[in-house]
Homo-oligomer: A and B are copies of this chain.
Amino acid sequence: MLMPPQSWLDNLGAFRVSLPALEHFPTVVWSKLVNRHSRRQTRQLMAYGGAMGHLPFREAIAEYLGTVRGVRCDPSQILVTTGSQQGLQLSAQVLLDANERVWIEEPGYHGARHALLMAGARLVPVPVDQEGLDVEEGIRRDSKAHAVYITPSHQYPLGMTMSATRRMLLLNWAARSGAWIIEDDYDSEYRFGGRPIASLQSLDAGARVIYAGTFNKVMFPSLRLGYVVVPKDLARAFSAARDATDVFSSTLYQAVMTDFIREGHFARHIRRMRMLYMQRRTAMVEEIGKQAGDTLEVIGAEAGMHLVALLAPGVSDVAVARTAAELGISAMPLSTCYLKSPARGGLILGYGGTDARQIHEGIGKLRLSIGQSTRIEKAGRNTASVSLPPR
């Protein structure tokens, strides 16, 4: 049985992971497009759509991913999903039988673990280091695993990028052993330094990679649109699984999003958000240094919409997170991303949806929480395990 999400971590103010800057979303442009399609609802827009998705939307996605992520595909390989979580759930459903073993990153994304467990898979945790997933260690632990789940562009939660050497090692192992690679490229739109890194899928000559992505973080979470790009000979199986799961994605937003991309609004929005998140990231790092430099160590701040602040050894991140929640601050405990116990606790802090004022105040409250929970912990407070809202 899966754990239900813990209410005290839901929808809190500052530092909510994956929440974009909703106040900067171009609502006027978007609602004009929504109205355009809603007013002249065609029969095609209202009737049953295909399990793979609305074709013009899949064409726009194929073009976008080819340009920006080097993904090699044609629209027949693209299945429109409701987001990366559904991409992972369908991949687990299609690729895995009960008790088949899957490498997962340690630490890694809890949503992926849940989707894999729901399909009956057995998880094989493989550690990550500065170069990303330690492929050689994975081979030592289980060379016959059936699949691997991985976030190579921006490891969740630690934030590093997988090195070129490791990428080749992984692809070679998968080609030799016939394993599947589930690549989760959940927030690759935002890189603040270094050169852009193409997707693992773009290097895959053996058609072993299933590539999953989402529009929910770049646009807004309640949009519920994402995609998986699958090898050609898996397209029918993915389509059948989607059909048996929930038939197809609502068509209105697919049509609206197609126009949003085609008319240039999407590229413009990403550029603006990249600038904004870079500023917020800088503000975060500075405020942590100023207010909490003695208790927090920042890692993984080169990309994406979150960073990790490591706590001193021995401090319970669950205790800190719980105290922070009482002050209205969302600080996701790093330890919940581990299957085994980590050497050191930390806090996963989102800055996409948190503005300069909230950052300043929020870090102050975090500082307080750390002080308080360190004292409380010494008094023996219970720090039960938790489960989490979306990444």
Q: Would you give the 0/1 interface string for A208-247, flagging 1 where the beta carbon is closer than 8 Å to chain B? A: 0000000000001111100000000000110111011111
Contact B244–A2 (Cβ < 8 Å) = yes
Say yes or no: A245 contacts B41, CB within 8 Å. no
Decide: B46 and A22 in contact? CB cutoff 8 A: yes
**CB-CB contacts below 8 Å: A1-45 with B:** 1-5, 10-11, 18-19, 22-23, 25, 27, 30-31, 34-35, 38-39, 41, 43, 45
Q: How far is the CB of A382 from chain B (nearest CB, A)?
A: 21
User: Counting CB contacts under 8 A, is A51 at the interface?
Assistant: yes
Q: A34-B38, A46-B25, A120-B120 are in contact. Are A222 and B241 (CB under 8 A)?
A: no
| A82 contacts B by Cβ under 8 Å | yes
Q: What is the size, in residues, of chain A's interface with B at 8 Å between Cβ atoms? A: 66
Contact of B47 with A39 in the complex, beta carbons under 8 Å: no
Binding site secondary structure of chain A: helix
In the assembled complex, A49 has its CB within 8 A of some CB on chain B: yes
Render A49-89 as a binary contact track against B, CB cut-off 8 A, 1 for contact.
11100000000000000000000000000000111011001
Give Cα A107 to B52, complex, Å: 28
Interface centre among A47, A49, A89, by most chain B C-beta atoms within 10 angstroms, is A47
A118 touches B245 (CB 8 A): yes
Q: Which residues of the partner chain B approach A25 to less than 8 Å between Cβ atoms?
A: 41, 46
Assess whether B3 is in contact with A114, with CB atoms less than 8 Å apart.
no
Contact residues in B for A199 (Cβ distance below 8 Å)? none
Known: A11-B47, A22-B47, A222-B45. A247 touches B390 (CB 8 A): yes
Among candidates B86, B247, B251, residue contacting A246 with C-beta atoms closer than 8 Å: B86
User: Would you call A114 and B390 a contact (CB within 8 A)?
Assistant: no
Given A38-B35, A120-B98, A246-B246: A48 and B389 within 8 A (CB)?
yes
Of A3, A4, A22, A85, most buried by chain B (CB within 10 Å of CB) is A4
A105-137, CB under 8 A of B: which get 1 and which 0? 000000100110110100000000000000000
**Contacts A1-B240, A89-B245 given; 7 further ones with Cβ under 8 A?**
A1-B237, A5-B51, A10-B50, A22-B43, A49-B222, A81-B246, A114-B243
Closest 3 A/B residue pairs (Cβ): A114-B244, A2-B240, A46-B220
